[in-house]
């Protein structure tokens, strides 16, 4: 296993694992409260190693092995964390692979990084703080998060989600579905029909919104939000190859 390395930034010490190899470097961006030890990240690292491909996985601040408190972070912070690690650890062209919230972060970084060659979105969740959290809150929940600064929501994946006022307000500054989103490279989106965290409507909205000359969405019947069954992992591999990996 490649050794974990660290990058010290003003906000937190950020953990990452970089596997040298041929490019473009495949960069895996994990989801909300997920980390770089997840099934997809570790599997894709092994897959990339076997192919002699450069690969990077990382933990945002407040996630996994990185420093900082989860509740102190927000989309803007986590996108900046990912950008800092990518620019520190890699050089040359990139393929961004974003899972859930990582898909939103990939959309942001696609407009900031110098040499993106492709994007694979796995149950990508752009703008979820506004279109899922805030839109789904009751008036009482909206009042609680704005007045108390945090609202805890039950999760199917462990501890409750802490939704902070900072996350909501910062999310509104980083929305990607309200303005042009040019991606002049191949894009592949994959989405499970049994995903209870991200709807197929979100996937269709992203499909319609991205401006790409080569964009496809695959709906996988029966797949859930984890998208980590062997056949799902094989489809992610195929999508990375398809966009130039």
Catalytic pick among 18, 43, 63, 225: 225
Enumerate residues 6+ apart whose C-beta is below 8 A from 72.
61, 62, 166
Catalytic pick among 99, 100, 110, 129: 100
Distance of CA 53 to the CA centre of its chain: 20
The two structure tokens encoding residue 40: 């997809």
Catalytic pick among 81, 127, 170, 195: 195
Residues 55, 129, 72, CA angle at the centre, nearest 5°? 75
- Catalytic-residue membership of 195: yes
- Catalytic-residue membership of 225: yes
> Do 16 and 36 form a contact (C-beta atoms < 8 A)?
yes
- Catalytic-residue membership of 209: no
Q: Is the dihedral of CA 83, 89, 90, 94 positive or negative?
A: negative
> Do 127 and 103 form a contact (C-beta atoms < 8 A)?
no
Q: Provide the pairing of β-strand 53-58 with 150-153.
A: unpaired
Distance of CA 228 to the CA centre of its chain: 15
Active-site residues, by number, are 100, 195, 225
């Amino acid at each position: 296993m490649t050794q974990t390395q660290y990058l010290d930034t003003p906000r937190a010490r950020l953990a990452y694992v970089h596997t040298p190899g041929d490019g473009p470097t495949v960069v895996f961006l994990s989801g909300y409260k997920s980390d770089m030890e997840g099934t997809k990240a570790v599997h894709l690292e092994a897959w990339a190693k076997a192919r002699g491909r450069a690969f990077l996985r990382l933990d945002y601040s407040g996630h996994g092995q990185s420093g900082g408190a989860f509740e102190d972070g927000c989309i803007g912070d986590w996108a900046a964390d990912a950008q800092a690690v990518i620019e520190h650890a890699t050089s040359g062209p990139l393929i961004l692979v974003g899972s859930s919230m990582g898909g939103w972060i990939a959309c942001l970084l696609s407009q900031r990084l110098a040499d993106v060659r492709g994007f694979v979105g796995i149950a990508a969740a752009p703008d979820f703080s506004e279109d899922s959290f805030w839109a789904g809150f009751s008036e009482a929940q909206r009042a609680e998060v704005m007045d108390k600064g945090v609202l805890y929501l039950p999760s199917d994946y462990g501890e409750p989600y802490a939704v902070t006022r900072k996350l909501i307000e910062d999310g509104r500054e980083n929305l990607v579905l309200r303005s042009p989103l040019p991606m002049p490279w191949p894009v592949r989106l994959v989405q499970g029909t049994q995903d209870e965290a991200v709807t197929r409507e979100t996937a269709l909205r992203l499909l319609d919104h991205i401006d790409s000359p080569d964009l496809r969405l695959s709906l996988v019947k029966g797949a859930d939000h984890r998208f980590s069954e062997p056949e799902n992992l094989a489809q992610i591999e195929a999508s990375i190859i398809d966009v130039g990996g």
